Structure 1
């Protein structure tokens, strides 16, 4: 088990964009943190009102956006135009190539989100887009499967043998991460303890297949769990 503390992440200040990089990205490079298995990027972005990313291209990457607050407007070369709001998950399989833009849809409030890149197991396939709303009540009950290779339990199907879950904990609630595979656990927001050790927003744990984790003493905590090959 290895910690990746929030304060140790790469930081980029572009004025209109504040971004924290869990793994090497753009101008931030750390050979010790190039990714974790096929999990290549976790960027926490805060985009200023009215600002955003102009049209740009991607290839052969599974790109996932998890919206925390605000609004993100998306447009792509596949013809999709959509707005992403808190509690919504956006998936774009870049495949053989896609261009898109992303802008904060508000002129007064920042947009806060996580963007996640997962390397696919196949390359050069047709790009694909999907967006879904995740039920808040379900997140507060147990791990909710968001992404999987086979679309199990209503999750979005991705091109990698990886499964992504989300969970919200607070008060006396407890959560458990069982042994079984290589895992990456990222605390999106709030506070909790992991096997007795405090975690704060942005902290993460890299788990070996034999590691078991108990989560407790949570304060408005939201966790993403990546089960990886």
Structure 2
């Protein structure tokens, strides 16, 4: 099957003044029937929020919601009683289950926050809502993939209610890393946060995305210093 490629500038754009968001997949007012999802990966938003602004209290249900700050910090509060700051280097996950409400604001009064907001459809519906966040040492992903999100309980990762795995790699120029699937039936969506890489023969640059179904291992060569997120998800519900 031909890889799914999303070039940076082809993504949907929402500009609300306080929020600038790039949408890889159809979201809110952005609708592209050719870009609805990649398997059970439903949303991949690249959000920039101005100082002290953010998303007021709103509901979610039956969705796995992952936030990864790229710069700055988010201030989170939810109906489960959680009040946290999520900073660069951390990963947050909410299993919305049978229903939660939450708010998310830029914690800084002077600097923007840039974060990835990612939604994955759940494995089990109507579960008790759950929250987790964890700090990950960037030294553990130099020229290799560091596992962030996994379906198994572990002190090393955050837990997701789906057979999905998220991994992050910081790759030096001209270095090669290999991504190997955790489940051969899954697909893998690669998102280039910084730099440029060649993934299994496909050239992909900053903020481009590439979804691959075929194969089980993927050689990745950095054309320049790069940071790469791999999102491995089931292809069907």
Residue 211 of structure 1 and its aligned partner are, at CA, apart by 6.4
Q: Determine the C-alpha separation between the residues in 1 that align with 2:202 and 2:232.
A: 21
For normalisation by structure 2, the TM-score amounts to: 0.91
Decide which of 206, 216, 219 is 2:221's aligned counterpart. 216
In the alignment of these two chains, the number of paired residues is: 229
Q: Over aligned residue pairs, what C-alpha RMSD do you find?
A: 1.6
Q: Does 1:189 align with 2:194?
A: yes
The CA deviation string for residues 53-110 of structure 1, in whole angstroms up to 9 with x for no partner, is 1111100100000010011100111111111111110011111111111110111100
| Distance in structure 1 (CA, Å) of the matches to 2:132 and 2:187 | 26
Look up the match of 1:137. 139
CA distance in structure 2 between the partners assigned to 1:88 and 1:210 by the alignment: 30
1:27 aligns with 2:29: yes
Aligned residue for 1:161, secondary structure, equals: coil
1:112 positional shift: 0.4
1:200 to 190, 205, 209: 205
139 and 195 in structure 1: CA distance in 2 versus 1, 3 angstrom threshold: same
Query: Which residue number corresponds to residue 109 of structure 2?
Result: 107
**Bigger shift: residues 136-145 or 80-89:** 136-145
Q: Deviations over 1:182-218 (max 9, x none)?
A: 1111112222233454322211111013265332234
Distance 1:37 1:74 in 2: 28
Deviation at 1:37, TM superposition (A): 1.1
Counterpart for residue 75 of structure 1: 77
CA contact (8 A) 1:169 1:218 kept: no
Unaligned runs of 5+ in 2: none
Instruction: Specify the alignment match of 2:153 in structure 1.
Output: 151
Q: Equivalents in 2 of 1:145, 1:88: separation in Å?
A: 12
Structure 1 counterpart of 2:121: 119
What is the CA-CA distance between 1:176 and the residue it aligns to?
Answer: 2.0
The two structures have a TM-score, normalised by structure 1, of 0.94
1:226 aligns with 2:212: no
Structure-2 residue corresponding to 1:52? 54
Gaps of 5+ in 1: none
Distance in 1 (CA, whole Å) between partners of 2:82 and 2:225 is 33
The CA distance in 1 between the partners of 2:201 and 2:187, in whole Å, is: 21
Moved more, 184-193 or 161-170: 184-193
